[in-house]
Structure 1
Amino acid sequence: MNARQKFDPKRDDENPEWTARDFARARPALEVLPAEVIAQFKTAKAESPKKQGLTKPSNKQRRR
């Protein structure tokens, strides 16, 4: 089974796949969202993958 499902227009009619025209018309969030919303994104603290322990195992760890 594929990890990524194919686009199903019957299921996703409210959220269709973006076209090249959609991407061309898209604007950055800083231009369209209120300052209050942008401020919430900036205060969210993200940790690096290394601190979260989400790095890929090295070859030595895989051999065990």
Structure 2
Amino acid sequence: MVTKELVDGLDVVGELELGGGCEDCVFRKMHAQPYNEEVMHERETLEQVHMDLWGPSPV
């Protein structure tokens, strides 16, 4: 983003070099491990429902 000037106001002081990668990049590339416990699958429609409830937003 810096070398292609894609962000207004983003100024990098010093040498721009990417070494091994940032911590966020390393964690993002980690793979999830399987669960150790037995998983029970639902047999009927709507037997188990997952949803996020949030709001109202102040913005």
TM-score w.r.t. structure 2 length? 0.22
Find the structure with the greater CA-based Rg.
Answer: 2
TM-score w.r.t. structure 1 length? 0.21
